[in-house]
Amino acid sequence: MLTKNQIKLIHSLSQKKFRVQHQMFVVEGVKVVQEFLNSNYKLVEVFSTDISYSKFSSNFTKVSSKELSKISNFSSPNKVLATFQIPSPSKVNWSGLVLALDAINDPGNLGTIIRLCDWFGIGDLVCSETTVDCYNSKVVQSSMGSHSRVNITYANLEIVLADSKVCYGAFMDGVSIYQEELAETGVIVLGNEANGISKEIEALMDSRLSIPRFGSFKQTESLNVANAAAIILSEFKRNVTEM
């Protein structure tokens, strides 16, 4: 049975300051919880209507559907909710292809980008300190468990990019990504949904890339940043495969 303290703690983890304070985050749903259970993330506690989850932790609480709804962010809770420890950050492998995000605000966009990194084999995702927290519940759900296969770090991009080898920035007025010679290593930078890459980070770019518009009217202002990430990562990987 759920206690008041358990309910209070889980509710508090919806806010970043309490996630930082407790070094914990919430994961919900059978598929996503299972992804984290199969990873190196350390399970703290699990709450489920299904007794079989008791095998994963001594800190198991059997709950009713009604109790699960009290702690869930879902309108229709899906059998299980678990809390995991936030791991210590790992070093970034700058010798590979790295994706960097400058002030991404939307949790759904960040979650999708994390999943895209997983799909395209990008081991390191570096986020500016102004990017939404990757342990926000909406980010966790959008990534569908890909956190466990992508090293996500937060840093001052001005500092870390100053020493990087090659920086590719995504801009509306850049050179077509289909015409540019793309390297196997370097940093790809994507900017804020509304404002793009900041002036400070723009100054550090070695190459300005764009995704050309092919429509007859060419009046669409921009692509969603997660859609742009998919196209750009696909082109980098295709280019490397064909080399």
Q: How confident is the prediction along the chain (243 residues), in pLDDT tens digits per residue?
A: 899 999 999 999 999 999 999 999 999 999 999 999 999 999 999 999 999 999 998 999 999 999 999 999 988 888 999 999 999 989 999 999 999 999 999 999 999 999 999 999 999 999 999 999 999 999 999 999 999 999 999 999 999 999 877 999 999 999 999 999 999 999 999 999 999 999 999 999 999 999 999 877 666 677 999 999 999 999 999 876 555
Q: What would the CATH number be for the domain defined by 4-85?
A: 3.30.1330.30
pTM, rounded to two decimals: 0.95
What are the backbone dihedrals phi and psi of residue 47, each rounded to the nearest 5 degrees, phi first?
-125, 125
CATH topology of domain 97-242: Alpha/beta knot (3.40.1280)
Distance CA 183, CA 97 (A): 9
Listed by start position, the domains of the chain span: 4-85, 97-242
Record the tokens describing residue 93, joined without a space.
């492998």
Distance CA 136, CA 111 (A): 9
Record the tokens describing residue 23, joined without a space.
């070094």
Identical fold, 4-85 and 97-242: no
